[in-house]
Structure 1
Amino acid sequence: MIGVYLYDIFGASAGNKSSHPKDESNSITNQRNLIMEYIKSDAVLSTYTVREYIDDGISGTRFDREAFEEMMTQVKEGNIQVIITKDYSRLGRDYLEVGRYLEFVFPVLKVRYISVNDNYDSNNFTGATGGMEVAVKNVINMMYSRDASKKVRSARTTLAKAGKFIGPQAPYGYKRSESDKQKLVIDEEPAQVVRLIFEMAIDGKKYKQIVRYLNANNIDTRVQYKEKHGKKWNHPRNYEIKQWSATAVMNILFNEIYTGTIVYGKTACNAQTGYKSKKMNPDNWIIVENCHEPIVSKQTFEKAHKVINKTTCNRTKEQGSYKKSIIICGCCGKGLVNSYGYYKCSCDYDPSKYNCRNVRMKTEEFEAGVMQYINTTAAGMLEHLQIYKKKRSSSVELQKEIDKLHQMKSKAEAKKFQLYDDYTKGIVQRDIMVSERTTLTERIGEIEIELHELESKIQLEQCINKAGEEETIELLSKMETFDLDIIRQVVKRITMYDDGNIQFEWNVDDFLQVK
């Protein structure tokens, strides 16, 4: 089978729309047409089954692209024998990673790679990958990606300072203007819901009370409203639960966009990789007022916040500091709360769809059951640790072997690059360079396998040293009072189901399977 990989960094979301029913970018459509013509013109390739893998709107410097990973999984399973892209840049724009795939991954997996516009076919370069020409093109692609990222970021900053809306989706209560796609206008039906939420907050209603009212009156969420009006919801997360939540209500109440103000730069994002890095200091935010018609006045916004802050302060004093719960509802996935003598689910989803109201247990009964299970399991862990410690090899010796293999790998890789250099200078003939590089590639592959095995062992050692040293485990085995701070050191999640069953997920489950 042929894996046709189609990729566009900007994608349909950037406004480059086509008439294709899936709203893919014109670039994707053009890539498909070019590659399919190439396949049809080749007597051998035209006999293969073709499957497309499309990543539209994701940075090429990243190799964790969903469709790319799916394609590589099929390659590893032996289902794909040929991969075709329009050019090298469609495979990726990180020249080191692209080089790794061309030099090592594809040859090891015995997959043929074709770059149409670069006139490259790995079948024509047995034991090599096209020499310096390929390397130079990949470096140029990466430089282009960096330059394009800077230009995109600069353009977006300029638009933000001008008060233009450049978000992927209009906020709930707004829609894009027909005459100016970067300007928001009020969408009256959901805007009424936004006003209602602010009014209820000013009246002192808590998030949960607002959520109950919205769900009880079947008021459409953002997703439901868009789908009802035939609009596609372009968001990576899967919104299966189409119910109002406290988070959704809070996001509306804290979003200044409803006062006509646009705020950008709250988080810093690496424009090349697409990974969000950190929250930014408010002093560096771009804040532009009076960008569009407000749904609520600034006075209403501030009044709602005064009530919210007062309620939050009172609740914080009563409940003390908050830590993310590791005790989870088995129906909806939300954290359980300990309130009025019961552990129970904190959500307010439709009871006809989610049986969360039955996820409850008396505090004493729950904590006693958890303690008994943890005491018994921790004692078993200690016993397993003692047995394993007698059998395990020294981590120091393992690390020495790993360091030695890394040195061998580095030397082999350096020699490969030196062969390239010698070949381009005319010091080494091409057939000798190809032969020696093939031998080095095979040796590097063998070293990679040895390293993987040894590193797995050392990780096991580190896992045991970190989580299995007797201090914490022994403390758990003798613990007499319920202490969640100690429990969370080795327990990742405790899930309670509506039938009363409780399931534990351990941080140390990778090396101890104690039930």
Structure 2
Amino acid sequence: MVSEDKSVILYLRVSCEDFKLSEAIESNSITSQRQLLQQYLQKNQELGTSKIIEMIDDGFSGTNFQRPQFEKMIELSMKGKVKCIIVKDFSRFGRNYIELGHYLECVFPMQGIRFISVNDGFDSEQVRGTTGGLEVSFRNFIYDMYCKDLSKKVKSAIAVRQRQGEFLSPYAFYGYKKSEENKHSLVVDEEAAKVVREIFQMAADQYSTYRIARSLNEKGILTPAEYKKKMGLNRYCNISSCWTQDKVTRIVRDERYLGKLIFNKRVRSETGSKKTVKVSRENWITVSGTHPAIIPKELYDQANGTLKVIHEKKKVQSEGKRGIYFCGSCGKKLRTSKNKAPYLECPMARYVDKRQCGEIKIEKEGLETVLLQVIGCFNQILKNHKIQDKTIKRLQLEIKGFENKKIELYEYYKQKNISQHSYFSQKKVLTEQIESSKNQIQHLAKENQVEAKNISDFIASVVVHEPYRITIEWRNQRWQQGFD
């Protein structure tokens, strides 16, 4: 008999796509889902006597299962605190038929959880031991295909609007603002457009991007991020407040200042994925004459013609993706000069004299010599305390033994030689023993890694606050504690 402390969960979900298709589709709204599930509870009073928990994922796609409330619901299920899960239909739970089938056929039956989909007329208690699962699998497959087809239709509808020259982004780009009469139309923002014209003119006059950025900073002109913050768009409040070469280059390269809109430069790799991929230029959607041009074509061509030659004359190089040196003032990654005796400097120091970043300058070779000496000391300590390999081998054998016991335990349970309660309790103990042994192996392996070839193999980051003062963050927490 199911314990009374277990809860009945009403799971509700609505995605952004449901609103995009039609705001009049009330059947998929949170309100209508809640009403439907509450009516079901009233008709099935044996469920209504249990504790009811409502969990809502508002604005999350059903094509993947990385949703806050869904993950919380599964966590409660794994802890044995859930008696029943009720949804409006299978698509509210998820649109990936493989993952949905996994939960319905494996996870929930193992945990003794009843699953009900109201509109689909599905109750796991009624189909147990029958072929009802075949109908469920087929229905899930249809939902998955429907989702992919729906995605294509939404993309097609958006592409039609793009080709009509409608501006669909939530925020206008620098130099423009949304029209008060039509939110899908742009008008010139004269205050920002004046800065854009100045940047293009300086580029056409063969000023380097570095000189342009420095000039704008000296005049106290707000960056695009700061300007948007000033206009009330607070999502940009944590972005760098300094003009840089990259910011200038992005503006000079932007063809939208010629009065055209460009869409489809990047697309999602697959339905439900957040990853995007670049689209070749011939497949971009370009619509001319959608808004007033800030820059004439002649000035645009002149500015870009000189920008390429000048922009190649960089005298510093970035530390790259694996760079570990950071500025203690602004937090940006330090760059290495190309001198005979290279030094590390903050890239922001070049643009404004008054910034504290100008004091962040240190000889790279001298810093690395000190870091190698510190690493050498730790290496010697670790070698003196190195654990023999037989300890790790012993732990690995223990893990294999625990895994075999888990298999035997499951066979006993399937043959009904032990109760469900006994099965889960013993399985929990074995799982904890396996995790404990794995953690010990991982801990010993980290301590024995003393033959790393690069400084970055030991050190996660070095923050340079000023000459002769640095902060080191180690990759191994035990080393970090040793310094603290």
User: Normalization by structure 2: what TM-score?
Assistant: 0.71
Q: How has the CA–CA distance of structure 1 residues 132 and 370 changed in structure 2, closer, same or farther, with 3 Å as cutoff?
A: same
SS at match of 1:503: strand
Provide the residue aligned with 2:344 in structure 1: 343
> C-alpha separation between the residues in 1 aligned to 2:435 and 2:83?
30
Tell me, yes or no, if the aligned pair for 1:83 and 1:113 is still in contact at 8 Å: yes
Deviations 1:18-54 (A, max 9, x none): 9xxxxxx9677x2234315633754665885755533
Deviation at 1:17, TM superposition (A): 6.0
Provide the residue aligned with 2:96 in structure 1: 94
| Count of residues in correspondence between the two structures | 460
Deviation at 1:145, TM superposition (A): 0.8
Tell me, yes or no, if the aligned pair for 2:225 and 2:239 is still in contact at 8 Å: no
SS at match of 1:392: helix
Q: How has the CA–CA distance of structure 1 residues 390 and 204 changed in structure 2, closer, same or farther, with 3 Å as cutoff?
A: farther
Deviation at 1:330, TM superposition (A): 4.7
Structure 2 counterparts to residues 91-240 of structure 1, below 5 A:
91-106=93-108, 113-120=115-122, 131-177=133-179, 181-203=183-205, 210=212, 219-222=221-224, 225-226=227-228, 228-229=230-231, 239-240=237-238
SS at match of 1:314: coil
The partner residue of 1:333 within 307, 331, 335 is 331
The partner residue of 1:323 within 316, 320, 324 is 320
Q: How has the CA–CA distance of structure 1 residues 225 and 245 changed in structure 2, closer, same or farther, with 3 Å as cutoff?
A: closer
Deviations 1:402-452 (A, max 9, x none): 99999999x99xxx9xxxxxxxxxxxxxxx9xx99x98xx79x959x8699
Deviation at 1:272, TM superposition (A): 0.7
The partner residue of 2:473 within 504, 510, 514 is 504
Gapped regions of structure 2 (runs ≥ 5): 1-6
Deviation at 1:136, TM superposition (A): 2.4
Q: How has the CA–CA distance of structure 1 residues 188 and 96 changed in structure 2, closer, same or farther, with 3 Å as cutoff?
A: same
Deviations 1:245-281 (A, max 9, x none): 5354443333222222333343342341233243333
Q: How has the CA–CA distance of structure 1 residues 12 and 303 changed in structure 2, closer, same or farther, with 3 Å as cutoff?
A: farther
Structure 2 counterparts to residues 39-58 of structure 1, below 5 A:
39=38, 42=42, 45=48, 48=51, 50=53, 52-56=55-59, 58=60
Amino acid at match of 1:504: E
SS at match of 2:154: helix
User: Normalization by structure 1: what TM-score?
Assistant: 0.67
Structure 2 counterparts to residues 116-515 of structure 1, below 5 A:
116-120=118-122, 131-177=133-179, 181-203=183-205, 210=212, 219-222=221-224, 225-226=227-228, 228-229=230-231, 239-241=237-239, 243-244=241-242, 246=244, 247-315=246-314, 318-319=315-316, 323-324=320-321, 325-330=323-328, 332-339=330-337, 343-347=344-348, 356=357, 359-363=360-364, 365-382=366-383, 386-393=386-393, 453=434, 457=438, 472-473=451-452, 475=453, 486-489=454-457, 491-497=459-465, 500-506=469-475
Q: How has the CA–CA distance of structure 1 residues 373 and 232 changed in structure 2, closer, same or farther, with 3 Å as cutoff?
A: closer
Q: How has the CA–CA distance of structure 1 residues 229 and 314 changed in structure 2, closer, same or farther, with 3 Å as cutoff?
A: closer
> C-alpha separation between the residues in 2 aligned to 1:256 and 1:103?
54
> C-alpha separation between the residues in 2 aligned to 1:358 and 1:2?
61
Tell me, yes or no, if the aligned pair for 1:395 and 1:458 is still in contact at 8 Å: no
Tell me, yes or no, if the aligned pair for 1:493 and 1:505 is still in contact at 8 Å: yes
Superposed CA RMSD: 5.3
Provide the residue aligned with 2:3 in structure 1: none
Q: How has the CA–CA distance of structure 1 residues 76 and 369 changed in structure 2, closer, same or farther, with 3 Å as cutoff?
A: farther
Amino acid at match of 2:13: Y
Q: Which has the higher contact order (CA 8 A, sep 6+)?
A: 1
Tell me, yes or no, if the aligned pair for 2:259 and 2:292 is still in contact at 8 Å: yes
Tell me, yes or no, if the aligned pair for 2:319 and 2:335 is still in contact at 8 Å: no
Tell me, yes or no, if the aligned pair for 2:12 and 2:34 is still in contact at 8 Å: no
Deviations 1:287-336 (A, max 9, x none): 44444322222333333333432233211xx4468623221235543201
Amino acid at match of 1:372: Q
Q: How has the CA–CA distance of structure 1 residues 406 and 344 changed in structure 2, closer, same or farther, with 3 Å as cutoff?
A: farther
Deviations 1:32-85 (A, max 9, x none): 3431563375466588575553341x4422222355445555666788776554
> C-alpha separation between the residues in 1 aligned to 2:367 and 2:252?
36
> C-alpha separation between the residues in 1 aligned to 2:229 and 2:358?
29
The partner residue of 2:13 within 7, 22, 42 is 7
> C-alpha separation between the residues in 1 aligned to 2:49 and 2:218?
58
Q: How has the CA–CA distance of structure 1 residues 299 and 514 changed in structure 2, closer, same or farther, with 3 Å as cutoff?
A: farther
Q: How has the CA–CA distance of structure 1 residues 213 and 112 changed in structure 2, closer, same or farther, with 3 Å as cutoff?
A: farther
Tell me, yes or no, if the aligned pair for 2:8 and 2:84 is still in contact at 8 Å: yes
SS at match of 1:393: helix
Structure 2 counterparts to residues 20-39 of structure 1, below 5 A:
30-36=29-35, 38-39=37-38
Which shows bigger deviation, 75-84 or 169-178?
75-84
Q: How has the CA–CA distance of structure 1 residues 146 and 253 changed in structure 2, closer, same or farther, with 3 Å as cutoff?
A: same
Deviation at 1:143, TM superposition (A): 0.9
Amino acid at match of 1:393: K
Which shows bigger deviation, 149-158 or 241-250?
241-250
> C-alpha separation between the residues in 1 aligned to 2:22 and 2:434?
47
Which shows bigger deviation, 342-351 or 267-276?
342-351
Provide the residue aligned with 2:4 in structure 1: none
SS at match of 1:134: helix
> C-alpha separation between the residues in 2 aligned to 1:268 and 1:96?
25
Tell me, yes or no, if the aligned pair for 1:262 and 1:288 is still in contact at 8 Å: yes
Provide the residue aligned with 1:419 in structure 2: none
> C-alpha separation between the residues in 1 aligned to 2:97 and 2:148?
12
Q: How has the CA–CA distance of structure 1 residues 98 and 216 changed in structure 2, closer, same or farther, with 3 Å as cutoff?
A: farther
